């Protein structure tokens, strides 16, 4: 199966520059990641290539706060034309609406979802990895970059009400305090930022409707170029990920209804894209299970049930097929876990 998720070279360069600033030699970074230096001249990278780059950068730098550091160093140039659209938006709420719309121009290795409440809204990030498991540092970089960029655009030290990560804490508490200045929770059901509506509705100092329209027109042209061949698999996978946050695993009939297609048409279009609904569901389930198993507070039985397995036997067979080891072996050989001080308190 080939999911055509890609990421812009601007975001790649931000990761590379941060690694080099931490003393990592460029040639060693690319060699360890298995990437040809000529790839740095491409406009976009396959999502698995930048995932390999992330793992290499974290390992070579030895920096447990590497993802947060990348996020704090990200600027408008890191976000392709989307960064300039955000700067010229009327309010932060308008800017976040445009982030959701134009996120693929930065990377279609994930998407944002805004869930509104009475006083505040969660901006949830749904990663979309390829064949390789994302480094959790990638998730931390995305949320830290968003907060850093918002502060730069508004000129205000905006403080989220809360930040959550689906993985365990990676680095020192001081790094999270520096990046977010708010309570941070780990081992949660999703990764996201809670923003008070006061912050969402303040006017942005560089708001410029005319410039914003010009930038949007350019972004639309770039989006059209990316979408010459509509990637149903990408949209479907993102939808499955969003539904799975609540512990639901939709079947093909539900997916067909959601995208207003017959089951036969859905299957035909996915086959044309080199995949199938069962393949997509399997990949989302794989990502969920491997991430959930890293949480030492969750039993293997709980993970299996939440992942939609009514019996442990098929669960064990699936994990063995995915990673050629048992759930317990993956848990013991996964990323180091930090179980103390799971929540940062102000």
For residue 292 the two structure tokens come to: 């959930």
Rounded to whole angstroms, the Cα distance separating 137 from 50 reads 12
Angle among Cα 320, 326, 327 to the nearest 5 degrees reads 110
One fold for 6-213 and 233-333:
no
Rounded to whole angstroms, the Cα distance separating 191 from 176 reads 14
> Is the Cβ–Cβ distance between 143 and 125 less than 8 Å?
yes
Rounded to whole angstroms, the Cα distance separating 216 from 230 reads 20
Q: What are phi and psi of 119, to 5 degrees?
A: -115, -20
Radius of gyration of the chain (CA): 20
> Is the Cβ–Cβ distance between 269 and 232 less than 8 Å?
yes
Q: What is the pLDDT of residue 162?
A: 97
Rounded to whole angstroms, the Cα distance separating 169 from 180 reads 14
Question: Cα torsion for 208, 213, 215, 219, to the nearest 10°?
Answer: 150
For residue 47 the two structure tokens come to: 């999502």
Identify the three-state secondary structure at position 122: strand
Distances (CA, A) of 6 to 61, 78, 225, 231, 270: 25, 15, 13, 12, 18
Q: How many residues does the chain have?
A: 346
The DSSP-derived string for 50-83 is HHHHHHHHHHHHT-TTHHHHHHHH--GGGGHHHH
For residue 170 the two structure tokens come to: 């990676």
The neighbouring-strand residues paired with 185 are: 164, 343
Mean pLDDT by groups of 10 residues along the chain of 346 residues: 66 95 94 84 82 94 96 81 86 88 86 90 90 90 92 85 96 94 96 94 89 86 68 76 78 87 89 85 86 85 90 92 87 50 37
Other Cβ atoms closer than 10 A to 98: 19
Assessment of whether the complete model's pTM goes beyond 0.85: no
The DSSP-derived string for 161-195 is SEEE-SS---S-HHHHHHHHSS-EE-S-SSEEEEE
Q: What is the pLDDT of residue 1?
A: 29
Q: pLDDT tens digits, residue range 64-85? A: 999 999 999 887 777 777 888 8
Q: What are phi and psi of 196, to 5 degrees?
A: -65, 145
Superfamily of domain 233-333: Homeodomain-like (1.10.10.60)
3.90.1520, 1.10.30, 1.10.3470, 3.40.1130: CATH of 6-213: 3.90.1520
Domain boundaries of the chain, sorted by first residue: 6-213, 233-333
Catalogue the long-range contacts made by 255-261 (C-beta closer than 8 Å, 24 or more residues apart).
259/232, 259/235
């Amino acid at each position: 199966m080939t999911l055509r998720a890609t990421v812009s070279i601007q975001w790649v360069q931000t990761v590379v520059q941060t690694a080099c600033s931490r003393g990592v030699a460029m040639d060693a970074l690319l060699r360890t990641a298995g990437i040809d230096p000529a790839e740095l001249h491409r406009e976009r990278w396959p999502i698995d290539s930048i995932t390999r780059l992330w793992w290499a950068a974290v390992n070579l730098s030895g920096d447990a706060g590497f993802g947060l550091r990348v996020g704090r160093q990200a600027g408008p140039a890191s976000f392709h034309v989307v960064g300039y659209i955000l700067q010229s938006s009327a309010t932060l709420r308008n800017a976040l609406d445009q982030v959701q719309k134009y996120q693929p121009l930065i990377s279609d290795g994930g998407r944002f979802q805004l869930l509104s409440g009475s006083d505040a809204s969660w901006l949830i990030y749904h990663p979309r990895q390829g064949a390789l498991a994302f480094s959790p540092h990638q998730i931390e970089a995305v949320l830290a970059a968003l907060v850093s960029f918002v502060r730069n655009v508004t000129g205000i030290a905006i403080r989220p009400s809360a930040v959550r990560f689906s993985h365990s804490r990676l680095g020192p508490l001081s790094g999270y305090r520096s990046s977010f200045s708010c309570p941070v929770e780990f081992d949660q059901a999703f990764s996201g930022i809670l923003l008070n509506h006061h912050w969402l509705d303040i006017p942005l100092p560089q708001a410029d409707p005319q410039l914003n329209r010009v930038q949007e027109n350019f972004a639309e042209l770039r989006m059209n170029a990316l979408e010459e061949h509509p990637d149903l698999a990408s949209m479907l996978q993102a939808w499955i990920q969003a539904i799975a946050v609540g512990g639901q695993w939709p079947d093909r009939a539900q997916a067909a209804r959601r995208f207003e297609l017959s089951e036969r048409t859905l299957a035909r279009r996915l086959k044309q894209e080199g995949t199938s609904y069962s393949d997509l569901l399997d990949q989302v389930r794989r990502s969920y299970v491997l991430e959930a198993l890293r949480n030492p507070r969750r039993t293997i039985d709980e993970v299996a049930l939440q992942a939609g397995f009514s019996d442990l036997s098929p669960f064990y067979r699936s994990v063995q097929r995915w990673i050629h080891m048992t759930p317990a072996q993956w848990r013991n050989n996964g990323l180091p876990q930090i179980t103390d001080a799971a929540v940062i308190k102000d």
